[in-house]
Amino acid sequence: MDRFFDAKSVVVVGVSDSPLNLGRSMVLNLLEFRYTGIIFVVGPKGGSFMGHKIHRQVKDIPEPVDLAAILVPATAVPDVLRQCGEKGIPRVVLESAGFRELGPDRFELEEEVRDVLKRYGTRMIGPNGLGIINRRNGLAVPFMPFKAEAPPGRVAVIAQSGGIGAMMINMLAAENLGFSKFASIGNKLDVNETELLEYLIGDHETDVIYCYLEGIAQGRRLMEIARRSPKPIVIHKSNLGQSAAMIARSHSASLSSDDQVVDAAFRQCGVVRTREQRETVEIVKAFSLPPMRGNRLAIISRSGGHAVLAADAAEEFGFQLPPFPPEVIAEVREHSRAGVIDFHNPLDLGDLFDLSLYRRLAEMSLAREDLDGMVFIHNYQGDMDVENSRSLIVSLGELLTKVQKPIGVCVFTTDDELLLNRKATTVPIFTDPKEAVRSLARTRDYGQKQFLPFSTTRPDRIDSARARFELTTAMPGPMPPEKLAAILSAYGIPLVPWHLVETEAEALRVACNLGFPLVLKTAHPEVIHKSDAGGVVLDLADERAASQAYRSLTRFGPRVLVEKMSRHGLEWLVGGRQDGAFGPVLVVGLGGIYVEVFRETAIRIAPIAYEEAHRMVTECKGSALLRGVRGQLPLDQQALLDVMVRVSWLLTDFPEIQELDLNPVRVLDSGCLALDWRALVAGGA
């Protein structure tokens, strides 16, 4: 990726003499950002622009070129790419639109582009993007005019939407945070977000990485990269799809929409998810501060009311407010004019008028080991204390650098003063005490997380060869219950004693062998909700009841499952599905008839370890019932965890199992049993 951003020469392809030509903006951006490399310009009509000769074709350029930035009609793109390949240009930024975003009839054009890239070994960002920027060397080729407003910052921006990427750059500039690198990836026909993330994690000029994504290209690879990242990765994922729920034929699929899976995946690997642009800026501001390494917070405010707001926020986000040290209190008491200050944390400095003292109090407090960070609130209006307030705010930025502890600086003043302060200081400025406190909480919580996205330890007693045989002989669509039972047993998943029968006489013989009470249910794989459809008869006490039950179920077909009636326990759902971006997904929650009532589940990307299975269970309110309530004995939670781990490995090993439900899994005081099982194999409707 460095060959994109560190290109020593760039050719802009698609420039003309027309004042409406967007290629001209690409050249102007290179000049605006003071690109340190060599600029070439190509356009079919020739001429010149800004002192640069416009070559008619790429091959006419007399020198080697590192990067081509292309904005030509979509149908002309393959030919331009061939010219670049023949010229030996290794990297291309394609900003042209008119590909898959216009519909399926453009897929063939995309394939032609892929073929050209492969033939010449060219790597490409785009199409349908806004381009790339590197603030260090001034490489800036967006077709939209940009201004180098804020100085280079430490935030990298990756955006699938050029418009949202540009808006993010503008918002960072308004906060005087700036950015280090920018990439608008558009349709991601070649380079996608995972490659750029991996590159930016190693980029010495970047501390925080922001991504705006409408689709995720390689979800599992993204998780692995994020888990290893020492830098915060903030992703705004939009396009909140419900496609999985719309086509679902199982509970586990209907209860795990695309967006819920994204949430689970990001939590699992430590990605910070945001859902709106303003929240994104707050998060980036938070990670621009040194990390909050503990829970002990000091609040200093010039306004008593704002001190109260900050204290409320501190309680909401779980901070401790330890007392200020004696030397700080003594300093405040000495300079208090009216003696009305209440000497506790938060500390109201409204009675102190020496603003140089404010900075000294902050430094004295943060120098102590028993404070991890500070929220400092300052307000000034009109002509009073203007210069001293400006100096105070700048000095807080210097103090932050010195002590390497976070200071959430919150300023209330006029818009003009706020803008001036943001440009003058290196510390992010907040305009709401709660926002400042929440930002410190974000860095605290991020630093305390442990991310273990995938398990590498398989459970024992797994016969994957036997499971593979059963799957290879299964037809696409809903799997017959006896085949699925064989697969589950091969993975050590306990099932209630069962037999498949096809005649009434066989049903009675099996019933006598199993012993009453019994359950009879249809074995027709298309009957999903057996209870609702009348496809299950419970608590059969004798042969007569079994005969009647069998005859009533034959309306679904002759194939019937005879099962031993399980003793009482707590019913859970354990299942999962294959997600297009992240692969196998495990879904767990209260089961039986309650799954539709509570619709409360925990979701993880599989496979998981036993520790993660335990965390999943504790996320569900039903976990309290496992521990025993009102004198009831505790149930065998470990047996449930074992089933969860085994199901996660089954889904991982066999991606052709598109959906899987064990519902219910009855958890007993010793062990657990799956009472009903369903699966959908790839290729089914």
DSSP per-residue codes, 159-210: ESSHHHHHHHHHHHHHTT---SEEEE-TT-SSS-HHHHHHHHHT-TT-SEEE
Going 190 to 196 to 199 to 203, the CA torsion angle's sign is positive
Instruction: Specify the pLDDT at position 254.
Output: 47
Buried-exposed string 433-469: b where 16+ CB fall within 10 A, e elsewhere: bbbbbbbbbbbbebeeeeeebbbeeeeeebeeeebee
Report residue 73 as tokens: 């009609």
Per-residue pLDDT at 593: 61
- Residue 149 is given by DSSP the state -
pLDDT at position 121, please? 97
Mean pLDDT of 319-329: 89
pLDDT in tens, 449-494: 777 778 888 999 999 999 999 998 888 899 999 999 999 999 999 9
Q: Cα–Cα distance between 288 and 513 in angstroms, integer?
A: 70
**Cα–Cα distance measured from residue 521 to residue 507, given in angstroms and rounded to the nearest whole number:** 11
Three-state DSSP class for residue 302: coil
Structure tokens at 25: 């903006």
Mean pLDDT of 37-53: 92
pLDDT at 80 over 90: yes
With contact defined as beta carbons under 8 Å apart, do 72 and 96 qualify? yes
Amino acid 528 reads I
> Is the pLDDT at 25 greater than 70, yes or no?
yes
- The yes-or-no verdict on residue 246 having pLDDT over 60 is no
Checking if the pLDDT of 247 tops 70, the result is: no
Measured distance CA(355)–CA(378) in Å, rounded: 10
pLDDT over 80 at 267, yes or no: yes
3-state DSSP of 514-567: HCCCEEEEECCCCCCCHHHHCCEEEEECCHHHHHHHHHHHHHHCCCEEEEECCC
Q: CA angle, 409 as apex, 404 and 410 as ends, to 5°?
A: 165
Model pLDDT for residues 384-409, shown as the tens digit of each residue: 889 999 999 999 999 999 999 999 99
The pLDDT of residue 327 is: 84
Query: Hey, how many other C-beta atoms are within 10 angstroms of the C-beta on 621?
Result: 11
Residue 382: count of CB within 10 angstroms of its CB: 9
C-alpha 525: how far from chain center: 36
Quote helix, strand, coil % in the chain, to nearest 5. 40, 20, 40
Q: Are 665 and 591 in contact (CB under 8 A)?
A: yes
pTM above 0.95, yes or no: no
**β 477-478/677-681 pair status:** antiparallel
Whether residue 655 contacts residue 466, with contact meaning beta carbons closer than 8 Å, is answered with no
583's torsion region: left (phi>0), alpha (psi -120 to 50) or beta? Answer: left
Coil vs helix vs strand at 230: coil
Q: Which residues contact 147 (CB under 8 A, 6 or more apart)?
A: 32
Least confident of 232-246, 295-309, 584-598, 604-618: 232-246
- Collapse the DSSP code of 4 into the 3-class scheme (helix H, G, I; strand E, B; otherwise coil) and give the result: helix
Instruction: Show Cβ contacts of residue 457 under 8 Å, excluding neighbours closer than 6 positions.
Output: 609
C-alpha dihedral (491, 497, 503, 508), degrees to nearest 10: 170
Average pLDDT on 503-509 reads 95
Q: What is the pLDDT of residue 528?
A: 78
> How do beta strands 67-70 and 91-94 pair?
parallel
Q: Are strands 131-134 and 123-125 parallel, antiparallel or unpaired?
A: unpaired
Residue from 600, 589, 603 nearest 648 by CA: 603
Q: What is the predicted pLDDT for the residue at 242?
A: 53
pLDDT of residue 341: 63
CA distances from 130 to 182, 265, 268, 371, 561 (A): 10, 28, 31, 45, 60
The whole-number pLDDT of residue 599 equals 65
Q: Which amino acid is at 511?
A: A
443 has a pLDDT exceeding 90:
yes
Q: Which tokens hold the place of 431?
A: 């305009």
Lowest mean pLDDT among 200-204, 329-333, 411-415, 422-426: 329-333
Beta bridge partners of 577: 585, 659
Q: 502 phi and psi, to 5 degrees?
A: -130, 5
Q: How many CB atoms lie within 10 A of CB 478?
A: 22
Confidence of residue 685 (pLDDT cuts 50, 70, 90): very low
User: What CA–CA distance (Å, rounded) separates 455 from 472?
Assistant: 26
Per the CB < 8 A criterion, the answer to whether 616 and 623 are in contact is: no
Beta strands in 355-483, from DSSP E residues, in sequence order: 373-379, 407-412, 429-430, 477-478
* C-alpha triplet 535, 540, 544: angle, nearest 5°: 105
Strand partners, 501: 560
Would you state the pLDDT for residue 244? 42
CA distances from 152 to 138, 141, 149, 173, 421 (A): 10, 16, 9, 9, 18
Which pLDDT does position 596 carry in this prediction?
A: 60
The whole-number pLDDT of residue 533 equals 87
End-to-end CA distance of the chain: 41
pLDDT of 132 > 80? The answer is: yes
What SS3 class is residue 325?
Answer: coil
- Residue 119 neighbours by CB under 8 Å, 6+ apart: 85
Average confidence (pLDDT) over 538-559: 94
Q: What are all long-range contacts of 555-558, with beta carbons under 8 Å and residues at least 24 apart?
A: 556/522, 556/524, 556/527, 557/522, 557/523, 557/524, 558/502, 558/503
Mean pLDDT of the chain: 91
Task: Give the pLDDT of residue 338.
Answer: 60
| pLDDT value for 597 | 58
CA torsion sign for 350, 355, 357, 361 is positive
Q: Report DSSP letters for 233-270, one per residue.
A: EEEEE-----HHHHH--SHHHHTS-HHHHHHHHHHHHT
pLDDT at residue 245 in the model: 41
Kindly list the structural domains of the chain, giving each domain's residue range(s) and its CATH number in brackets, ordered by start: 1-124 (3.40.50.720), 149-288 (3.40.50.261), 291-431 (3.40.50.261), 497-565 (3.30.1490.20), 570-681 (3.30.470.20)
d(CA 332, CA 347): 9
Q: What distance in Å separates the CA atoms of residue 653 and residue 656, rounded to the nearest whole number?
A: 9
pLDDT tens for 330-383 read 888 887 766 556 678 999 888 788 888 899 999 999 998 889 999 999 999 867
Percent of the chain exceeding pLDDT 70 equals 95
Query: Cβ of 401: how many Cβ atoms within 10 Å?
Result: 11
Q: Residue 540 — very low, low, confident or very high, per pLDDT cuts 50/70/90? A: very high
